[in-house]
Structure 1
Amino acid sequence: MEQRLFIVACIMYAFTLCTLRLKKHNKLSSPKVFRWWHFAYLVLILNCAIYILLFVMGGGSGEAISPVKLTLGVVASLGCAIWGYFGSVKATPEQREKLMKKDLEWANTVYFAGFVASFVMFFFIQAFKIPSESMQDTLLVGDQLFVNKAAYGFRIPLTDIRFGQFQPIKTGDIIVFRFPAKDKKQINCGDSQYGRDFVKRVIAVGGDRVEVKGGQLYVNGEKVPHQPYERYEQVDRLPFEPEEDLDLYQQVWENHQLDNYYGMYLRDNFGPVTVPENHYFGMGDNRDNSCDSRFWGPIPRENIKGKAWFIHWPFDRIRLIK
């Protein structure tokens, strides 16, 4: 989602360059033209600034901005722009020059902030806010954390090309990734997850064979002991029924459609499947309340944004993530 932030900064930068060109050719000397330019510029500056602020403070997780925040932002920007328009009606040439200088200074601040924030989020650190209970008790709803995007290598913006990997992705890592859906119409766990960022713990890597029987996890045929970070509910487990066509099962799972056929049965019984190369199997620590790879398939390497690193808010939960 940092691409959107970069695009917003580019729009603001392009508009500023156009303004400088118009000024150079004396196209803004007319009071009427200047007033409308000043109005449009204020609308653009304020909306870009509000978007950047809400995006960064919201964690950059790709979640849609709430209608209330969006409405308030638009109303506030239009109100300020209208005030600016009427304030420039009787402005003298010297006052118009001062207004333009001030507008350009604010524009420089806005697009510079957008470029810096998108650069940092592209290569180094991204903020992320936990939206669900799937990783409880390791990560709680509302926890705000930093994601180390350099841990698994730098990604060239707008591509899936990576370089400079400092450490491999391994079992036990908590990763943040873009949900593996290429179609907005794809439904998983009751809704479209397209474009959203998820956080899960890596359970298996490419080539591993994964199976769940009665809520018990098996990797490569071996029972995986329960870990202290895992959480389970006291529920009646659904009985395990062996699959007749494992090839078809594997195909449906890799196509991210398994939950549309099996539903909650996958909570207790899953597989066996083999994780494809350059893919990963992720599960939530809150095993009975997690929409994860059991339901929607493997995680492609190119979708992984980084490693969950540090909880910075709330104050009483500040800690490194393990």
Structure 2
Amino acid sequence: MEFDFSAILLALTVLFGVVWGLDRLFLYDKRKSRLDAAGEEYRDPAPVDWARSLFPVVLVVLVLRSFVAEPFRIPSGSMMPTLDVGDFILVNKFAYGLRMPAFNNKFLDLGEPKRGDVVVFRFPGYLCQDENGQWVRSGDISCSDPHAPVPNQNWIKRVIGLPGDTIESHGDQLMINGTPVPADLTGPFQGRPNGDESRLMRDYGATVWTEHLPRSEGKGSIDHMIARMPAYSVPLSIPNDKVPAKVPAGCYIVMGDNRYNSTDSRWWGCLPEQNLAGKAFLIWLSWKGTHDGWIDFGRIGKIIH
């Protein structure tokens, strides 16, 4: 079963607020007068007392989580070497505008993603053709069931293409607006000694590169680490039947930094703007597991580039 924590927080905030508010409007005065006349000490009924106590708590958590910063945990190796499995990150929720909790409707525009941003988003689903030949979003990667429900999941990738950009990708080769994106070899991938994802990458001879994505503003580059692992798989190229060469309006092309082991826009198309949740900016905890020393203190406080 999947839970939408934002929806749960919103529902609890409304529930506690309504219970407390209705009691104060219609029941509190009569109940207090009755108890005062009987000489008894006033106490709220248990449900009202719980609502009064918890309403400000869940309201503050809802506001902070929805409009300021939200914690996420990295579940897979698709963003290695930038982000590792077990990293706990903070996401700036107002970087791209304020949205209504649970409904995700933007009501205040504060900016748009830039090339190179690491973004968290609601997975839009795989692009599949239905029985009428129409493109629909599905939760089935094979598209055997184009109407399969899309799982309610938060994913994280890096923005590669902006609306209006022309993107080409063939294996290691990435081109943006007709210009190849340069990358410099750093060395062989090392990773954690006992991490499953790290072990897989070492087994397949992964190498680490510094990629120089051109800035959106047109001057300089965003320099960040990527991993290449050609022996592992052959990624889909761009353009393909799900991804046109020119990025449509209101969409973004996103990729994982682990370029040969990331299910990203190359497989499921462009990321709709309305699915954005925020910009990742900080690692606040890195859990390595019992076989790797529990916590990686060296990664705590690392700014995400």
Between the aligned partners of 2:88 and 2:49, the Cα distance in structure 1 is 32
Q: Does 1:316 align with 2:295?
A: no
Q: Which has the higher strand share?
A: 2
Tell me if the contact between 2:254 and 2:264 (Cα under 8 Å) persists in the aligned partners.
yes
Tell me if the contact between 2:167 and 2:246 (Cα under 8 Å) persists in the aligned partners.
yes
Which residue is equivalent to 1:267?
none
User: Percent identity among equivalent residues?
Assistant: 32
Q: 1:291 to 1:237 in 2, by over 3 A?
A: closer
Q: 1:106 to 1:239 in 2, by over 3 A?
A: closer
Between the aligned partners of 1:140 and 1:149, the Cα distance in structure 2 is 22
Which residue is equivalent to 2:84?
140
Q: 1:24 to 1:188 in 2, by over 3 A?
A: farther
Between the aligned partners of 1:105 and 1:212, the Cα distance in structure 2 is 59
Question: Offset of 1:236 from its aligned partner?
Answer: 6.6
Question: Offset of 1:277 from its aligned partner?
Answer: 1.1
Tell me if the contact between 1:189 and 1:291 (Cα under 8 Å) persists in the aligned partners.
no
* TM-score in terms of structure 1 length: 0.61
Aligned counterpart in structure 2 of residue 16 of structure 1, from 11, 15, 20: 20
Unmatched segments (≥5 aa) in structure 1 = 30-92, 254-270
Q: Name which of structure 1's ranges 4-13 and 174-183 shifts more when overlaid on structure 2.
A: 174-183
The 5-angstrom pairing of residues 139-158 of structure 1 reads 139-157=83-101, 158=103
Question: Offset of 1:232 from its aligned partner?
Answer: 1.8
Between the aligned partners of 1:110 and 1:239, the Cα distance in structure 2 is 49
Deviations 1:250-299 (A, max 9, x none): xxx1xxxxxxxxxxxxxxxxx65221012100000111111111111111
Which residue is equivalent to 1:130?
74
The 5-angstrom pairing of residues 23-42 of structure 1 reads none
Which residue is equivalent to 1:79?
none
Aligned counterpart in structure 2 of residue 187 of structure 1, from 137, 140, 143: 140
Tell me if the contact between 1:215 and 1:237 (Cα under 8 Å) persists in the aligned partners.
no
Aligned counterpart in structure 2 of residue 306 of structure 1, from 259, 266, 278: 278
Between the aligned partners of 1:102 and 1:9, the Cα distance in structure 2 is 17
Question: Offset of 1:237 from its aligned partner?
Answer: 6.1
Which residue is equivalent to 1:161?
106
Question: Offset of 1:223 from its aligned partner?
Answer: 2.2
Deviations 1:199-247 (A, max 9, x none): 100011111222222342222333222352111224176599998xx7x
Between the aligned partners of 1:170 and 1:283, the Cα distance in structure 2 is 14
Tell me if the contact between 1:179 and 1:196 (Cα under 8 Å) persists in the aligned partners.
yes
The 5-angstrom pairing of residues 67-82 of structure 1 reads none
Which residue is equivalent to 1:230?
226
Between the aligned partners of 1:7 and 1:163, the Cα distance in structure 2 is 22
Which residue is equivalent to 1:285?
257
Question: Offset of 1:22 from its aligned partner?
Answer: 4.8
SS of the aligned residue for 2:8 comes to helix
Aligned positions, number:
232
Q: 1:272 to 1:302 in 2, by over 3 A?
A: closer
Q: 1:127 to 1:236 in 2, by over 3 A?
A: closer
Tell me if the contact between 1:209 and 1:275 (Cα under 8 Å) persists in the aligned partners.
yes
Deviations 1:59-109 (A, max 9, x none): xxxxxxxxxxxxxxxxxxxxxxxxxxxxxxxxxx958x54x3665443223
Q: Which has the higher helix share?
A: 1
Q: 1:188 to 1:109 in 2, by over 3 A?
A: farther
SS of the aligned residue for 1:187 comes to coil
Between the aligned partners of 1:285 and 1:239, the Cα distance in structure 2 is 13
Tell me if the contact between 2:104 and 2:274 (Cα under 8 Å) persists in the aligned partners.
no
Between the aligned partners of 1:199 and 1:241, the Cα distance in structure 2 is 20
Aligned counterpart in structure 2 of residue 174 of structure 1, from 77, 96, 118: 118
Between the aligned partners of 1:149 and 1:310, the Cα distance in structure 2 is 13
Unmatched segments (≥5 aa) in structure 2 = 127-135, 184-208, 211-224, 287-296
Between the aligned partners of 1:242 and 1:200, the Cα distance in structure 2 is 17
Q: 1:125 to 1:9 in 2, by over 3 A?
A: same
Q: 1:109 to 1:175 in 2, by over 3 A?
A: same
Tell me which amino acid in the other structure corresponds to 1:209. Answer: T
